[in-house]
A and B are shown apart, each in its own frame.
Chain A
């Protein structure tokens, strides 16, 4: 949390930094906690509700800690026309949780994902961000069971994505001049 608070200070104090701040929170903390919302609100000089709004509007932001192994099920049409919905039912039955939930011990989670255009692998899921497909239904059961047994866990391959803040056009020109900079260091 401290590290997050520190990194947050490096973002300009502007409403336009909201998504960057929320992404930062999720990357650093794994999810958007109430405390993170409070910190972001203070830093961007907006109300907590103005953070809570976007934090809950966008599907990618999580409001509970992530599972150790996350299975993201592709809901897309190319997957669906070749049995994707059956894959969902298999994982739900094997994990004993519904789409959008974690297992009781937070070891496994099954969440909805949107097509990212790797449709030639259909039907597929992502295990910790890595595509696994094409899956026959038998493959799906076996994969679910191996994951339940703690095998086959794929480490998150993600390199953290760094997006540079605006560079040459200064923040003032970009975002309008309200409540910027003058309050730097106040927190």
Chain B
């Protein structure tokens, strides 16, 4: 350790320790985007005066990842520690603002396991009388490396980070030969976490070998894949890990400046990263002559503005330059010509975040987990039809069923898994029978999908695979940069075909047409267009029955396509129909005027039926299939296939 770092660490440890006395309880409140969505900021305000009353220290932390239980609060009580090396940290949630006082009193009382049982999740560290969090299905299988400090340290305090060892790896790296760092990262086998999986060490060597003097690093925190929020959690919960990783990469590649490109949808990430940069700079962890080694490095943030293709590395570079974020044809690769035409390197946030751990613990340690093709651990964000959506870190190679059904608990309310959507809009679709796949790249690629950047969405029989495919195709159309007609025209045609199918106008030859669009899109300029057909390919390959039913029978088994279904009143005597009518957004549920009865609009489907059943009617052309009426009066309303019902009439 350099004496500069030594001093820094000592000072930080003192400052961090000053925040808490050994006897005083510590109350950690998860303040992250997910918890704030569950009103954790209001909870914090309610807890502030209470903390003073109870004489406890209130600490802002990032997230432990238990998103479905937000707002999560951890109470650490040294007096309840069940181990000599500390302990007594118990995790609770969800803690509602209105329960703040009651909760705190119970959690700080004599018997929290019992008194605070309605909030109790488990003990993160050994605690007398509280079952360990490790027994929780969401927590047990995890291997938390990147997430080691998340939800535990204050992401807005550099002292806490340094006291836990942050920037120690950078201190070592500045004395290392750049090529040695590249070799180390290559030996560890860190694959790019943005989806491509390209060995980071290899890419760094390209940049190291590129002519200087100006070289740039770019951190890709655009995380455009809906359902993926790995990078967000990293930046919000442990921002210094990302900064340290980039600084080490700077040392390894001979680059002295970097850009962190964060999507605009992540305001809290932007705020915390900016604060972390300022703090690091103020302590000399960024800037000139870091640790007296002569190594200069600094970073700035580029705030995105809502564009998916800007996640593609050449698009990202264009966006950093302040022009439209349109991808370019590679080569030249960024290492040849990147930001402002200078040699550059783009890596995902999580890729950089792994680096300090490797420098600290070595390549062999890194490879203790994971598989041959994908060593190490990976953060996954799981959502969709799940009992327990959230974010977690597991070794590569774990079974997807273990993650989604084990940790995530599978679909709620006894629904059955129908399929999985991995890797974002370009990732494709998998059937539930593939739940046993190992979470590493090769088995996914073999099935024609992408494991991607860590978002996994489970859907059950209530969702329509055709509708999902249409959504992803629309997304790709919307987000196409427009430079090549192949891509924007191709995705437009794809959406048109799918829309038509969902309207009951599907034709047999549509399958041929989809195939032709697929083949055409493969010639698009960039990966956005080339991967656009992955979703529809998944539909054709794995959900063929459903697609055929749409086309041949004009029927949607999931009954979500408005064009293929209709809402009918089957029990007009249900008194709740009154309320349903009042809440119907288009006022299409109404009592038919009595005198209209004898005219009974001839031929109009279902007319006879509603007349026979009574006087409530749904005015079909105005029904927007919003399901409000069925939610209110589930027995009185039925969703039926539109065409089976009319075929007999027309």
| Minimum C-beta distance from B641 to chain A (A) | 18
Pick from A16, A136, A137: contact of B340, CB under 8 Å: A16
Taking a contact as CB atoms under 8 Å apart, the answer to whether B468 and A81 are in contact is: yes
Whether the Cβ atoms of A131 and B37 lie closer than 8 Å is yes
Chain B proximity mask over A96-120: 1 for CB below 8 Å, otherwise 0: 0000000000000000011111111
Q: Taking the nearest CB of chain B, how far is it from the CB of A40, in angstroms?
A: 10
Give per-residue flags for B25-54: 1 if the beta carbon is below 8 A from chain A beta carbons, else 0. 000000001101110010000000000000
Q: Is B15 an interface residue (CB 8 A)?
A: no
> Is B516 in contact with chain A by the CB < 8 A criterion?
no
Q: State how many residues of chain B have any CB contact under 8 Å with chain A.
A: 80
Q: Which of B253-294 contact A (CB under 8 A)?
A: 256-257, 264-267, 270-271, 274, 277-278, 281, 287-288
| B333 sits at the interface (CB 8 A) | no
**Residue pair B37, A121 in contact (C-beta under 8 Å):** yes
The answer to whether A167 has its CB under 8 Å from any CB of chain B is yes
Kindly state whether residue B490 has any CB partner on chain A within 8 Å. no
Most chain A CB inside 10 Å of its own CB: which residue of B298, B457, B626 = B626
Q: Are B232 and A117 in contact (CB under 8 A)?
A: yes
Contact B626 A90 (CB under 8 A): yes
A residues 124-176 with Cβ under 8 Å of B? 124, 131, 133, 136-138, 140-142, 144, 157-159, 161-169, 173-176
B307 interface residue, CB < 8 Å from A? yes
Question: A114 touching B257 by the CB < 8 A rule?
Answer: no
Q: Considering only CB atoms and an 8 Å cut-off, how many residues of chain A contact the other chain? A: 68
A19-B322, A76-B226, A81-B459 known; A116-B232 Cβ under 8 A: yes
Interface-facing stretch out of B189-197, B377-385, B444-452: B377-385
Q: A120-B70, A120-B383, A168-B287 are in contact. Are A23 and B303 (CB under 8 A)?
A: yes
In whole angstroms, how far apart are the Cα atoms of A118 and B63 in the complex? Answer: 12
Name B628's contact: one of A81, A133, A141, A158 (CB within 8 Å): A141
Please give, as numbers and ranges, the residues of chain B lying within 8 Å of A183 by CB-CB distance: none
Secondary structure of the B contact surface, majority rule: mixed
Complex CA–CA separation, A63 to B570 (angstroms): 47
Residues of B within 8 A of A94 (CB): 585
How many angstroms from the CA of A174 to the CA of B626 in the assembled complex? Answer: 53
Quote the shortest CB–CB distance from B466 to chain A (angstroms).
Answer: 12
Chain B residues lying within 8 Å of A83, measured Cβ to Cβ, are 627
Q: Which residue of A has the minimal Cβ distance to B322?
A: A18
Q: Does B644 contact A (CB under 8 A)?
A: no
B507 interface residue per 8 A CB criterion: no
- What separation, in Å, do the CA atoms of A75 and B227 have in the docked complex? 11
A50 at the interface (CB under 8 A from B): yes
Among B232, B266, B625, B628, find the residue whose CB has the most chain A CB atoms closer than 10 A: B628
The reply to whether A137 and B628 form a contact with Cβ atoms under 8 Å apart is: yes
CA of A122 to CA of B287, assembled, Å:
42
- Most-contacted residue by chain A among B264, B322, B583 (CB, 10 A): B322
Further 20 A-B residue pairs, CB within 8 A, beyond A58-B306, A77-B227, A82-B384: A16-B320, A17-B322, A19-B302, A53-B323, A54-B324, A61-B306, A75-B226, A77-B471, A82-B385, A117-B229, A118-B33, A119-B229, A120-B70, A121-B37, A131-B37, A137-B627, A140-B626, A162-B274, A167-B281, A174-B340
